Amino acid sequence: MRSESAEATERAGADLAALLRPGDVVLVSGDLGAGKTTFVRGALRALGVTEAVTSPTFVVGVLYDGAVGPLAHLDLYRLAGLADEDPGLLDPYFGPDTVTFVEWPERAESEELLGGRAIARHVTLAHAGGDARTIEVAP
Ligand code: ADP
Ligand code: MG
């Protein structure tokens, strides 16, 4: 789809959120400023998060209490790769009841390292001139 505003990207996140189930992992890819955090914010809001949603900057992730269960928002941008990290680094952010959103999943080097969990959706955002963005949601 095409989004013409940050609000429309938040709505796209909310629309996806309505389809998610506990344990789902959503990978969110795209360049800096493409709208990954904006998309995740819309999804987290729809899932009951009322506090501010910003990109986790000094920590790898943030946990929230959602309306239905735990929610996690990871940003792996600053990770050089998971191979050199504590193997349990990401464990708190994945679980059978947790819905997990991952920005910069490419940094993990392989999807198996992302908690070994099934990936529910791959979301890709891209700049399309000005405030326009393309948003693709794939299984
Ligand atoms: P990322 O997490 O991909 O680096 P952010 O969501 O943090 O990107 O930032 C996107 C920036 O672009 C925000 O300042 C947002 O307000 C702005 N923006 C403008 N148009 C859009 C749009 N259509 N979708 C998403 N963000 C947009
Ligand atoms: Mg971001």
Segment holding 7, helix H or strand E:
helix 6-17
Beta bridge partners of 71: 64, 99
Q: In a mutational test of the pocket of ligand 1, which residue from 15, 26, 38, 127 has the highest number of ligand atoms less than 8 Å from its CB?
A: 38
Q: Tell me how far apart the terminal alpha carbons of the chain are, to the nearest angstrom.
A: 15
Q: pTM for this one?
A: 0.95
Is the beta carbon of 74 within 6 A of some atom in ligand 1? no
Nearest CA to ligand 1 atom 24: 6
Which atom in ligand 1 lies closest to the alpha carbon of residue 40? Answer: 6
63 within 8 A of 72, measured Cβ to Cβ: yes
Per-residue pLDDT, averaged over 95-99, amounts to: 94
For residue 55, name the pLDDT band (cuts at 50, 70, 90).
confident
| Of the listed ranges 15-19, 99-103, 112-116, the one predicted with least confidence | 112-116
Q: Which ligand is nearest to the CA of 42?
A: 1
Ligand 1 within 6 A of CB of 43? no
CA of 37 to the centre of ligand 1 (A): 7
* Strands 2-3 and 25-29, bridge-based pairing: unpaired
More confident residue, 79 or 124: 124
113-137 confidence digits (pLDDT tens):
665 677 899 999 999 999 999 999 9
Q: Whose CA is nearest to atom 15 of ligand 1?
A: 6
| pLDDT recorded at residue 67 | 93
Smallest CA-to-CA distance from 97 within 56, 74, 66 is with 66
CA 98–ligand 2 middle distance (angstroms): 20
Distance CA 116, CA 98 (A): 14
